[in-house]
Copies of this chain bind each other. A is one copy, B any other.
């Protein structure tokens, strides 16, 4: 895994993002049990409280739920996961398009060049 953080944003936030990606990409599957807080914290070399905060953030977004004494689980509601996937994709596309605009690419040009490039890539 790639537990590396920058100093610009809170660690708990970056942790939440990374785990979100794992859920969305399917590395963590719907309904699956998540490793215990303390174990995750250990792997990421952060304090358990920090990891706890990250996971609670994801619970608030309904991507996780916890059963008191048995552990945490990925949501079984695939819609929630798919919506999150769409939202994040939209954000990435918007950011990408804005950076292309700064380079002077129009909407049409952007589409053309990305199509061309992706076609070329293996």
Contact = CB atoms under 8 A, between A and B. Distances in A.
A97 B110 CA distance: 13
B21 A103 contact: yes
A114 interface: yes
A118 B113 contact: no
Contact of A88 (B8, B96, B103, B111): B103
A80 interface: no
Contacts of A121: 97, 107
Given A111-B118, A118-B110, A89 B93 contact: no
A117 B100 CA distance: 15
A70 interface: no
A99 interface: yes
